[in-house]
Amino acid sequence: MPDGRIPQIGVVFPRTDALTKVSGEEKFAADYYGQDLVWAGVKRAGIPHARLKSLDVDQARQVPGVIAVLTHLDIPGENRQGVVRKDQPVLVDDKVRHAGDALALVLAESKPALAAALNSIRCELEPLPGVFDPEQALAEGAPLVHEDNPEGNLLLKAEVKTGETESVWEECAAVIEACFETPHQEHCFLETESGWAKVESNGKIVIVASTQTPFRDRTEVAQVLGRDHTGIRVIAPYAGGAFGGKDGITVQSLLGLAALHSQGRPVKMWWDREESFSAGTKRHPARMYYRLGAKADGTLHAVEVRLYLDTGPYDHLGGAVMTQAVEHSGGPYRIPHAWLRGWAVYTNNPIGGAFRGFGVAQVTAAMEQMMDLLAAKLDLDPVQIRLKNAVRRGDKNCVGVTLTGSAGLSECLEKMAAHPRWQERQTWIRAAGLLKRRGVGLAAVMQAVGYGPFVPDVANAKVELTLEGKIRVYSGVVDMGQGNAATNLQIAGSILSQTPAQMELILPDTDRTLPSGSASASRCTYTFGNALIGAAQALKERILQRSADLLMAAGPDELVLVSGLVRRVTTGQEIPLAVLAKWLTDAERIAVYRFRAPVAQERPAKDDQVRLHGLPHCIFSYGAHLAMVEVDELTGAVEVKGYLAITDSGRVLNPQTYEQQIHGGIVQGLGYALSEDFRVTDGLIQTSDLATYIIPTAMDVPDMLSIPVEINEPTGPFGLKGVGEVAMNGPLPAVANAVAAACGGRCYSFPLTSERVLQLMTAS
């Protein structure tokens, strides 16, 4: 164990999973093989929009080593899946709607046989005119992605209006209008989509998958296979990164189907990087029209926003992402008059889906640049204009919802204003070398925690005293790298006074752990942690009470739990937990606890669909970010020389895992800001691998400084709020504001490649 001590809250607790990961022992979904393994793979369309005329798999079936070639005709249940709207076929039956659509599933004895069979499938596809721009897709006469959708290519529209919308602009001393465009962003988790499945002797289908959502997957797979969900077990090992890209079905349904045709042999599917790019989801590209007005003193008065999000051909979570974007589009500010609209639109581009930030990275990119433009126009300090308008607890936010939870943005901004990196920025800027320009930029960020008002944001924790006297914690929420599994040990260990060596961890498994929702929405430790505290406390009380009875003590107050045993402080008598466990019934050794996250009572959107898709939230994390950039005058290359993030995500449970989330979010955001230029031309991905889609290496990012502002969130476990996403939202606008300051002009399309920045410098 990394640490033989009993974990404490608020103190560094080296992650227990690091031990098995650093030694190579930890088994990810991609690491499952087994005797008599069958390889499964998918034939993909390769063109963005086409009618499926015929599919000839005979030749593929003849390839030596091929076990089965399956098409939509082999799907026993429903051939449509999706988190909210079921609009995505498992295997295409009528139309190809994007180039990554799956046409056929092949099972083979070996990888070479699989490849040969996939190459021998002949498909007759009649190309259809495609639609590749969300605004064009809404125009009259645009090709339809789903002919049966009554609203054409519109998936969902969300609208929130507060105050007035017409007369208010005349009351502003300054009004800024601008349009921003952000691109797709690819998750680039290191473990591409993978899984393993097998039908057990009792007929149950076991699926081991790299997923964020084992319980929801089970339901979806059951529907596809036309079975009861009890006939399916989904196991979710540590995922090798996910970031939203494994929120929902990737390989699971295909593997379930494959397992039905593998004669009891285990089946493995592991997408290569190119397939991950083509078939996986991405952050939605957004076109964002903004109008923002303020009084002369910088008080924000009105905002009007129109957001167009390209969701590709399937909802996936596009409606929810767009709704969340609308909710955050006015930023973490008090704005009395807001008219915020968003459209999630079907196209034949790659699928838009969940990605850390969930719509907020896009709108923060726009809104925080609007704030700098406004500050410049009014000749105000960028920190002060944000501070003047920052939401505080009890305020109404930009969608008119009263913030009942903690809101520490002002504290973050005040710390930023006083920080040497801000205070001494002019000195730093002036020290730029020959042929270099420097700039410092800011952004204020926020991120909602949890699912919102409608979908129950629930976790069910389970803790067991095993017969061996150990504390077994059943994690209900997947650990995709963020460290919540180890945090669960930390929480349970701190409450039950056990060292890591005295504890065991069960990772999410639909047969063993309890449903606790997805690993997403900055909710993992917030929601599950609350449930776990309840379960651990219940078990602790039971252990102490039953020990008191056994030792004939007056009551549990005389007893304390220490690692591995219970001690009676008045006499020094001890009962090892392994002994106590034998005195308890199986039911008594287990404690469970359910927690549901609080929801906002106000209803800012009239449309119930918008509420269903998650608006509004009531708990938010906040932050203030600062980027120090140096621009090369000859090449336009932007180098981030320093970065500071001051974050309010409530109390910090483990400073190390907390900082991991901040650092990771910042660097993913820096990639989004500077190099991750995902290119799609007429529905075809041009940046199809890691050689052409450029994520940062260790040399491309600076050492970062992260400062927590620990304001207690009364509803959070030990006062915590979610921290998984909030840092993702700052880098693009902070860097963009810094580059604008350095170059005297601004780009409105992202990322800020050297090419764009050089053009900008030439123009200005």
The one-letter amino acid at 292: L
Residue 483 CB, shortest distance to another protein, in Å, is 7
* 699 counts as binding another protein under rule CB under 8 A: yes
Residue 2 CB, shortest distance to another protein, in Å, is 5
> For 263, what's the count of Cα atoms within 13 Å in the CB-facing half-sphere?
8
* 21 counts as binding another protein under rule CB under 8 A: yes
Helix, coil or strand: residue 763:
helix
- Tell me 144's DSSP state: P
Residue 356 CB, shortest distance to another protein, in Å, is 10
CB atoms within 10 A of CB 635: 12
Sheet containing 565-568: give its strands across.
Answer: 559-562, 565-568, 574-576
- Candidate ranges 295-303, 386-394, 518-526, 695-703; the one touching another protein (CB under 8 A): 695-703
Of 25, 140, 147, 170, the residue at the interface with another protein (CB under 8 A) is: 25
- Candidate ranges 9-17, 142-150, 300-308, 620-628; the one touching another protein (CB under 8 A): 9-17
Which positions from 584 through 623 interact with another protein, judged by CB under 8 A?
none
Of 262, 364, 657, 737, the residue at the interface with another protein (CB under 8 A) is: 657
Which positions from 250 through 309 interact with another protein, judged by CB under 8 A?
272-273
Residue 240 CB, shortest distance to another protein, in Å, is 3
343 touches 307 (CB < 8 A):
yes
Helix, coil or strand: residue 268:
strand
* 4 counts as binding another protein under rule CB under 8 A: no
* 246 counts as binding another protein under rule CB under 8 A: no
724 touches 522 (CB < 8 A):
yes
* 7 counts as binding another protein under rule CB under 8 A: no
* 2 counts as binding another protein under rule CB under 8 A: yes
289 touches 326 (CB < 8 A):
no
Residues in the chain: 764
Paired residues of 38 in beta bridges = 267
- Candidate ranges 487-495, 557-565, 571-579, 657-665; the one touching another protein (CB under 8 A): 657-665
Residue 575 CB, shortest distance to another protein, in Å, is 33
* 418 counts as binding another protein under rule CB under 8 A: no
The H or E element that residue 731 is part of is helix 731-743
- Candidate ranges 12-20, 132-140, 299-307, 604-612; the one touching another protein (CB under 8 A): 12-20
- Tell me 166's DSSP state: S
d(CA 258, CA 74): 10
* 163 counts as binding another protein under rule CB under 8 A: no
Of 310, 659, 713, 725, the residue at the interface with another protein (CB under 8 A) is: 659
Of 660, 707, 745, 748, the residue at the interface with another protein (CB under 8 A) is: 660
Of 538, 551, 592, 637, the residue at the interface with another protein (CB under 8 A) is: 637
Residues 428-467, mask of contacts with another protein (x by CB under 8 A): ------xx--------------------------------
Residue 596 CB, shortest distance to another protein, in Å, is 28
Helix, coil or strand: residue 661:
helix
Residue 678 CB, shortest distance to another protein, in Å, is 11
Which positions from 99 through 138 interact with another protein, judged by CB under 8 A?
111
431 touches 642 (CB < 8 A):
no
* 695 counts as binding another protein under rule CB under 8 A: yes
**CB-count burial class (<10 Å; 0-12, 13-18, 19+) for 264:** exposed
Encoded tokens for 587: 């039911």
508 touches 14 (CB < 8 A):
no
The one-letter amino acid at 121: I
Residue 680 CB, shortest distance to another protein, in Å, is 12
Task: Count the site residues for another protein by CB under 8 A.
Answer: 78
* 31 counts as binding another protein under rule CB under 8 A: yes
> Which residue lies nearer to another protein by CB, 336 or 655?
655
d(CA 249, CA 252): 6
Residue 406 CB, shortest distance to another protein, in Å, is 26
> Which residue lies nearer to another protein by CB, 190 or 418?
190
Which positions from 471 through 510 interact with another protein, judged by CB under 8 A?
480-483
Residue with tokens 């429903």: 78
Tell me how far the alpha carbon of residue 544 is from its chain's centroid: 39
* 755 counts as binding another protein under rule CB under 8 A: yes
Query: How wide is the angle at C-alpha 583 spanned by C-alphas 579 and 588, nearest 5°?
Result: 115
* 697 counts as binding another protein under rule CB under 8 A: yes
Of 687, 715, 729, 737, the residue at the interface with another protein (CB under 8 A) is: 687
> For 430, what's the count of Cα atoms within 13 Å in the CB-facing half-sphere?
4
Which positions from 183 through 212 interact with another protein, judged by CB under 8 A?
187-192
Encoded tokens for 399: 């969608």
Encode burial over 729-758: b for 16+ CB neighbours within 10 A, e otherwise.
bbbbbbbbbbbbbbbeebbeebbbbbebbb
Residue 41 CB, shortest distance to another protein, in Å, is 14
Bond preceding residue 751 cis, omega within 30 of 0? yes
> Which residue lies nearer to another protein by CB, 335 or 480?
480
Helix, coil or strand: residue 119:
helix
> For 688, what's the count of Cα atoms within 13 Å in the CB-facing half-sphere?
13
* 176 counts as binding another protein under rule CB under 8 A: no
* 750 counts as binding another protein under rule CB under 8 A: no
Which positions from 559 through 578 interact with another protein, judged by CB under 8 A?
none
Helix, coil or strand: residue 445:
strand
* 5 counts as binding another protein under rule CB under 8 A: no
